[in-house]
C-alpha cells in the first residue's frame, strides 16, 4: 500500500516542482492521493469536427466505456463538412454520447477522477459544444478539467494501445483530414515540429480526389471519402495508366525540405480526370447562352459534346456504397458516374501510391534530421490520425522504419486512428499524471500550434 501511495503521489510532487503556477493544484493533489487504492479513471470528450465522441479509460489503458456518433449522412451530399450542420448535430448528440460512455463503463460522473476535452485545434463552434459540456460536468461534480490538444491526443494514443512498448523520445507522423505533421515527441507536453504541409493536408487531398473520382463515401465508423478511395485502389494498378503522377517536392531544393505538399498532386489528378472525360465524351460545354427568365440567369449546365451523356455534376455522389470487394452489381453503380470503373480504380491506386511515396521520403529525412540536427535517436515511429488507418500507407511506413532505420512502427487500430473519445481521455490521463490541469474558465483554441504546449498554461495570449 505504501508503494502504491508513493506511485500516485509522484505526479503531484513533479507538478508542484514546475516553474509555473498550477491551476487548482490542491484539488489535483487531493484527487491523485485519494486514488491510491485504485487506477485513475478519466472521461474524455471530443467534438473538434464532425464526430461527437466520449469515452472513459483507466491508467492501465483499459477502455471502460465508449460512445461515438458520426455525421456522414449529413455531410456527404455536400461533399465535405458543413460547420453549421456539424454544430447542430453535436448539440443534439452530446448528452446521449456522454451518458452512453458512462453507462457502458458502469460509472457515474462522481466516479471519474477528471474530465478531459478537446480545446483545439478544430472548428471553433464545434469545439465549443464539447468544451462547454466538459466544463459544466467538471464544475458540477467538482472534478479537475483537462484541456487537450487534438493532435497531442493522436500522438499519444499508441501508448494506450501498446503499453510499455513506446518510450520517449519517438518520431510521430500525424496524418489526418486537417493536419499533416512530422514531430519529435520528447515527452508529454514537449514537441519539436520537423515539418508540416505547405498547402493541403494529406487527408484533405484523399477526400477531394475521391470526390473527383465520384466515389461514394464508405459507410460506418472510419468511413468517408478517403476510406472509399483506399477500397477502390485495391482493385487498380497505376501501371495501367499511360502516365505517371509526379511525387511532390522531389526536385531541386524541395528534396531536402521536411515539409509536405499535396495540392500539386491533387491538381494533377483533377487534370487527368478532366482529360479522361474529354476523351470519352468530347469537350465540355455550358448553356451560357440560355435566355434570362424572371430577371435571373439560371446556373450553367455542364455537358460534354459528342456522345450522349447525362449532365455532369462534379459534386455528385452515388447512393450505393462501394463494397470492400466490389461485385458485378457494384460496377454498374460506379459506371453510372462519368468515368469508367477501371479508370477510377487505376487512378485511385496511382494517387495513393504517389502520396505514400511522398510521406516515405519525408519520414526518411525526418529520421536523418533527428540524429544529425537534434541529437535525438527516435525509439519508435508512431503514425496516427485518420489517414494512418490506410493499410497501404502503413505497410510503406513500416518498410522504411524497420528496414532502413531498425525502428519499430506503431499505429493505433483503425477505429482509434480517426477522431474518438478514447484518445482524448488517454491524453487527458497522461496530462493529469503530469499535473497539467486547467482552470474552468479556459476557452477553445481553433488554431493552436503543438509546440506552444511547452508554454502551458501561458500560451493563450499569443495564439
The predicted pLDDT at position 64 comes to 98
DSSP state at residue 222: T
CB atoms inside a 10 Å sphere around CB 377: 12
Q: Give the model's confidence band at 98: pLDDT under 50 very low, under 70 low, under 90 confident, else very high.
A: very high
**For the segment 331-356, what is each residue's pLDDT rounded down to a tens digit?**
444 444 578 888 999 999 999 999 99
pLDDT digits (tens, 9 = 90+) for 111-140: 999 999 999 999 999 999 999 999 999 999
For range 135-149, the mean pLDDT: 97
Mean pLDDT over all residues of the chain?
83
What's the pLDDT at 320?
43
Q: CA-CA distance, 379 to 198, in Å (whole number)?
A: 27
pLDDT of residue 332: 40
Question: What pLDDT sits at residue 217?
Answer: 78
With 60 as the cut, is the pLDDT of residue 189 above it? yes
CB 424 within 8 A of CB 117: yes
pTM of the entire structure? 0.82
**351 by DSSP, 3-state: which?**
helix
Confidence of residue 10 (pLDDT cuts 50, 70, 90): low
What pLDDT does residue 21 have? 44
Q: What percent of the chain lies above the pLDDT cut of 90?
A: 64
Nearest Cα neighbor of 166 from 436, 419, 413, 412 is 412
> What's the pLDDT score for residue 285?
55
In angstroms and rounded to an integer, the radius of gyration of the C-alpha atoms of the chain is 24
Collapse the DSSP code of 463 into the 3-class scheme (helix H, G, I; strand E, B; otherwise coil) and give the result: coil
* Four-point Cα dihedral 290, 292, 294, 297, nearest 10: 80
Reading the block at residue 144, the C-alpha cell is 479537475
How many CA atoms within 13 Å lie on the side-chain side of 306?
10
Q: How confident is the model at residue 284 (pLDDT cuts 50, 70, 90)?
A: low
Q: What are the structural domains of the chain?
A: 2-165+418-455 (3.30.420.40), 180-278+316-327+339-407 (3.30.420.40)
Residue 30 pLDDT > 90, yes or no?
Answer: no
pLDDT in tens, 316-328: 333 344 455 554 4
Amino acid at each position: 500500500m505504501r508503494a502504491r501511495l508513493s506511485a500516485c503521489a509522484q505526479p503531484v510532487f513533479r507538478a508542484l516542482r514546475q516553474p509555473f503556477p498550477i491551476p487548482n493544484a490542491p484539488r489535483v493533489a487531493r484527487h491523485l492521493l485519494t486514488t491510491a487504492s485504485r487506477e485513475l479513471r478519466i472521461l474524455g470528450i471530443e467534438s473538434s469536427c464532425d464526430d461527437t465522441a466520449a469515452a472513459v479509460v483507466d491508467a492501465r489503458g483499459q477502455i471502460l466505456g465508449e460512445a461515438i456518433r458520426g455525421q456522414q449522412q449529413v455531410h456527404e451530399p455536400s461533399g465535405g463538412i458543413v460547420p453549421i450542420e456539424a454544430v447542430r448535430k453535436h448539440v443534439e448528440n452530446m448528452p446521449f454520447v456522454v451518458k452512453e460512455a458512462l453507462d457502458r463503463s458502469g460509472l457515474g460522473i462522481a466516479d471519474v477522477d477528471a474530465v478531459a476535452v478537446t480545446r483545439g485545434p478544430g472548428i471553433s463552434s464545434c469545439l465549443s459544444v464539447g468544451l462547454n459540456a466538459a466544463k459544466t460536468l467538471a464544475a458540477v461534480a467538482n472534478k479537475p478539467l483537462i484541456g487537450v490538444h487534438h493532435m497531442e491526443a493522436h500522438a499519444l494514443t499508441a501508448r494506450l494501445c501498446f503499453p510499455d512498448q513506446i518510450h520517449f523520445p519517438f518520431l510521430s507522423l500525424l496524418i489526418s483530414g486537417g493536419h499533416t505533421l512530422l514531430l519529435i515527441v520528447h515527452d508529454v507536453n514537449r514537441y519539436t515540429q520537423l515539418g508540416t504541409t505547405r498547402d493541403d493536408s494529406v487527408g484533405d487531398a484523399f477526400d477531394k480526389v475521391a470526390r473527383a473520382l465520384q466515389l461514394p463515401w464508405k459507410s460506418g465508423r472510419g468511413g468517408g471519402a478517403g476510406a472509399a478511395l483506399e477500397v477502390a485502389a485495391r482493385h487498380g494498378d497505376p501501371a495501367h495508366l499511360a502516365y505517371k503522377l509526379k511525387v511532390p517536392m522531389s526536385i531541386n531544393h524541395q528534396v531536402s525540405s521536411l515539409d509536405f505538399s499535396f495540392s500539386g498532386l491533387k491538381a494533377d489528378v483533377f487534370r487527368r480526370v478532366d482529360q479522361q472525360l474529354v476523351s470519352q465524351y468530347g469537350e465540355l460545354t455550358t448553356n451560357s447562352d440560355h435566355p434570362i427568365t424572371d430577371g435571373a440567369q439560371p446556373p450553367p449546365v455542364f455537358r460534354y459534346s459528342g456522345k450522349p451523356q447525362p449532365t455532369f455534376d462534379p459534386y455528385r455522389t452515388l447512393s450505393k456504397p462501394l463494397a470492400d470487394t466490389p461485385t458485378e452489381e457494384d460496377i454498374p453503380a460506379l459506371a453510372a458516374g462519368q468515368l469508367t470503373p477501371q479508370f477510377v480504380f487505376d487512378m485511385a491506386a496511382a494517387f495513393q501510391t504517389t502520396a505514400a511515396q511522398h510521406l516515405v521520403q519525408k519520414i526518411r529525412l525526418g529520421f536523418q534530421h533527428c540524429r544529425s540536427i537534434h541529437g535525438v535517436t527516435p525509439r519508435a515511429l508512431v503514425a496516427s490520425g485518420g489517414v494512418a488507418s490506410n493499410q497501404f500507407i502503413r505497410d510503406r511506413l513500416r518498410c522504411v522504419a524497420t528496414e532502413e532505420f531498425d525502428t519499430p512502427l506503431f499505429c493505433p487500430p483503425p477505429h482509434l486512428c480517426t477522431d474518438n473519445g478514447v484518445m482524448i481521455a488517454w491524453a487527458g490521463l497522461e496530462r493529469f499524471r503530469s499535473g497539467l490541469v486547467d482552470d474552468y474558465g479556459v476557452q477553445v483554441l481553433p488554431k493552436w500550434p503543438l509546440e506552444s504546449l511547452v508554454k502551458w498554461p501561458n500560451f493563450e495570449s499569443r495564439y
